[in-house]
Amino acid sequence: MTAYLDHAATTPMLPASVETLTCHLHRTANASSLHTSGRRARRVVEESREQVAAALGAGPNDVVFTSGGTEADNLAVKGLFWGRQDDATRRHRIVASAVEHHAVSDSVEWLVQHEGAEVEWVPVDGAGRIDLDAYRDILDRDPDSIALVSVMWANNEVGTLQPIDEVVAAAKQHGIPVHSDAVQAVGSVPVDFGDSGVDAMTITGHKLGGPYGAGALLLRRGLDLAPVLHGGGQERGVRSGTLDTPAIAAFAVAVDTAVAARPSQAPRIASLREELVAGVQARVPGAVVSGDPDPAGRLPGIAHFTFTDCEGDSLLYLLDARGVECSTGSACQAGVPQPSHVLRAMGMDDTQSRGALRFSLGHTSTKTDVDAVLEAIGPAVERARNAGLASRAHGFVA
């Protein structure tokens, strides 16, 4: 039996979403075609658009379907940056939190390297929440030179929520557009695009029970945004490419279902998480929990630990061998977890962050999953510590 605790990477598809996807895969038509079948497909897309919009407090015309979170983040960051340049004004600064997902931070870095952008990373506190004073100082310093602000709704590694209301309020004073990557937030915490005042918001299917390869950028109408993909002019001319009707329909069902289920699911998941955290801390003295200790300040399903003198990849192997699937939380390069920029921004040194492990719970999580972790964690940490010490020693020969 496998205990799956990596919902923040991908959560299992909801049965309703699978059913919708398979149902539409049997039908043929390009949603841009003008004939009867095309119109039928277009109707599915437009109803899906309305479904997504309604679930998230947006208007149907705010929804731009994409291939997922990475594309939506790229479109928001690059599209807003380019859209805000004109002959009269050079808005070359980008303000982003130091804990953004790589889809945002690497897009920003690319603009810095290739398009003459300048970046201001907003520092975070020990819990991973942005320093609002520092943020406001950055904005006040020549606000006319700022192209956009990008601050994620909730962090994917440690689960900390960002003060989106304050971020938006300060940016609005200067007329600066705000993008927020809400990939981890939708379905886990209340998210209302309209009320939030953000101008662009990233969501994706596979983090909330929908299919892979389907997501959206919610984009306030009237916002000047340069397209990244050019072609047939679909999606307001902002995102060309034939619409993936089955995936869009299944994605919309998942958004609707996940948002509707949130009031009952989130507390259930939160209490499983509390049980997991308390259990791990009881079995592994010295296990450090990262992120906001206040449940109101974080996602209900993420439990992020650092185990001193351990390497995350050793722990991952030992738990995997015992049927417990989790993550080190940070990005991998060719299978090797890289030191987490999030933990670094939170003030953790790289030695400590090597012992990071993220358990993330979701809609299919049960007490059995938590029990599996608690049964495996003690011996796994003990063994990983020995391995950590062994690989620091000089080996047999010396």
Tell me whether residue 36 or residue 396 sits nearer to other proteins (CB atom): 396
- Rounded Cα distance between 329 and 304, Å, is 8
- Rounded Cα distance between 329 and 348, Å, is 14
Q: Is the dihedral of CA 190, 195, 198, 200 positive or negative?
A: positive
Walk across the sheet containing 63-66 and list its strands: 63-66, 215-219, 200-204, 178-181, 146-150, 93-97, 118-122
CB of 279 to other proteins, least distance (A): 23
Q: Does 1 bind other proteins (CB under 8 A)?
A: no
CB of 387 to other proteins, least distance (A): 4
Q: Does 109 bind other proteins (CB under 8 A)?
A: no
| Binding pattern for the stretch 282-321 against other proteins, x by CB under 8 A and - elsewhere | -------------------------------xx-xxx-xx
Q: Does 322 bind other proteins (CB under 8 A)?
A: no
332 catalytic? Reply is yes
Tell me whether residue 221 or residue 394 sits nearer to other proteins (CB atom): 394
Q: Does 173 bind other proteins (CB under 8 A)?
A: no
Q: Does 384 bind other proteins (CB under 8 A)?
A: yes
Task: Compute how many other C-beta atoms are within 10 angstroms of the C-beta atom of residue 89.
Answer: 11
Q: Does 349 bind other proteins (CB under 8 A)?
A: no
Q: Is the dihedral of CA 240, 107, 68, 91 positive or negative?
A: negative
CB of 349 to other proteins, least distance (A): 15
Find the binder of other proteins among 89, 145, 364, 391 (CB under 8 A): 391
Q: Does 389 bind other proteins (CB under 8 A)?
A: yes
Q: Are strands 302-306 and 288-290 parallel, antiparallel or unpaired?
A: antiparallel
Contact predicate 98/70, CB 8 Å: no
Q: Does 357 bind other proteins (CB under 8 A)?
A: no
Q: Does 166 bind other proteins (CB under 8 A)?
A: no
Q: Which DSSP string do the residues of 182-195 spell out, in sequence order?
A: -TTTBTTB---HHH
Element (H, E) at 259: helix 245-283
Question: Judged by CB under 8 A, which stretch of 88-96, 159-167, 355-363, 387-395 contacts other proteins?
Answer: 387-395
Q: How far is the first Cα of the chain from the last one, in angstroms, to the nearest whole number? A: 42
Tell me whether residue 364 or residue 391 sits nearer to other proteins (CB atom): 391
- Rounded Cα distance between 198 and 194, Å, is 8
Find the binder of other proteins among 221, 222, 334, 368 (CB under 8 A): 334
Binding site residues, other proteins, CB under 8 A: 313-314, 316-318, 320-321, 333-337, 383-384, 386-387, 389-391, 393-398
